[in-house]
Amino acid sequence: MVTQLSAVWRFRHFLLSLVRLDLKNRYTRSAIGVGWTVIQPLVMAGVFVLIFSGILGMSPGRYVTSLLLGLAVWNFVRESLVAGSNAFLDHERYIRQSLLPYALYPLRPVLGSAVHAGIALLVAVAAVVFVDGGFEKLAVFPVVLPALVLLLVAGWAAATLFAFAQCYFQDTRHLLDIGCQMLFFLTPIIYPPEVLVDKGAGWLARVNPVNLFLELIRTPLANGTVPELKLYVYAAAFTAGLGFLAMLAIRRGHRRLVYQL
């Protein structure tokens, strides 16, 4: 593990140049450019607010802030998994011709997703301040930072695992697309977690790791309260477990991976 991480740090400038290239290519010839990262969640939030805020009995201001925070986290998770699953296949030439650390390849799409998620999160924070009237809620923003770091590492580890799976079973990405669609509606993003509890399905929230990170990121900013310490412990344990599995996959599979490309 230490070897992989130190190697990634050694090639960090190369990695960041690839991430910048991805961001540049994504918005080539686009009139709005990175502005689409702002427009997309706002449009989706507008549609959901129009339909669900009245049904759920929530004020539009409070609902839109909760929704934007949830979408920022969700979009990072989805993009990291789906784009990261092709990390090794997309870098076949590098893998065959160089000795770059394998952990670097999934990190490239994850960092790109993190940039977009960061912009979406800033939009959500602006909504907290100007729409929900919660400037004082930003006082608890520092407690969100550990959760963001854990989410980034967990996304990197999960992307690495799915990248290996994609090489051995190339329907993995299609299954991920379907799984993410299902997981979106099973995660309390467009509705509050209390809905699951009221319907007797509270266990879905408890076993859903995405909801764990939602609680750590959305709850402080939306409500101005500090999450329970045990939630940070659960998130750290989950992230450490994913990281261990990812490093184990790299250690055992890096010699055979080239034959699956």
Print pLDDT tens along the chain (261 aa).
567 778 888 888 988 998 998 888 877 777 777 777 778 878 887 888 777 766 676 777 788 888 899 999 999 999 999 999 999 998 888 888 877 889 999 999 999 999 999 998 998 888 888 876 667 777 788 899 999 999 999 999 999 999 999 998 989 999 999 999 999 988 888 888 777 766 666 677 778 899 999 999 998 888 888 899 999 999 999 999 999 999 999 988 877 887 777
Distance of alpha carbon 234 from alpha carbon 241, whole angstroms? 11
User: Domain tally for the chain?
Assistant: 1
Q: Which residue has the tokens 């539009």?
A: 60
> Domain of 66?
2-260
Which residues contact residue 234 at a Cβ distance below 8 angstroms, ignoring those fewer than 6 apart?
212
**What integer pLDDT is reported at residue 95 of this predicted model?**
86
What is the per-residue burial (b if ≥16 Cβ within 10 Å, else e) of 162-173?
bbbbbbeeeebb
pLDDT at 240: 95
Q: What is the largest CA-CA distance in the chain?
A: 58
The pair of structure tokens assigned to 156 is: 């990197």
User: pLDDT per residue over 76-132, tens digit each?
Assistant: 999 999 999 999 998 888 888 877 889 999 999 999 999 999 998 998 888 888 876
Report pLDDT for 200.
65
**55 three-class SS:** helix
> Is the pTM above the cut of 0.85?
yes
Which residue is associated with the tokens 């599995």? Answer: 245
Neighbour count for residue 81 (Cβ, 10 Å): 25
Q: Nearest Cα to 131, choosing from 65, 70, 189?
A: 65
How far CA 132 is from CA of 129, 152, 155, 185, 235, in Å, comes to 6, 27, 30, 25, 28
**What whole-number distance in Å separates Cα of residue 41 and Cα of residue 75?**
9
pLDDT of residue 132: 67
Exposed (0-12), middle (13-18) or buried (19+): which is 44, by Cβ within 10 Å? Answer: middle
pLDDT for the residue numbered 198: 65
The DSSP element (H or E) to which 95 belongs, if any, is helix 92-97
Tokens of 209: 């790791």
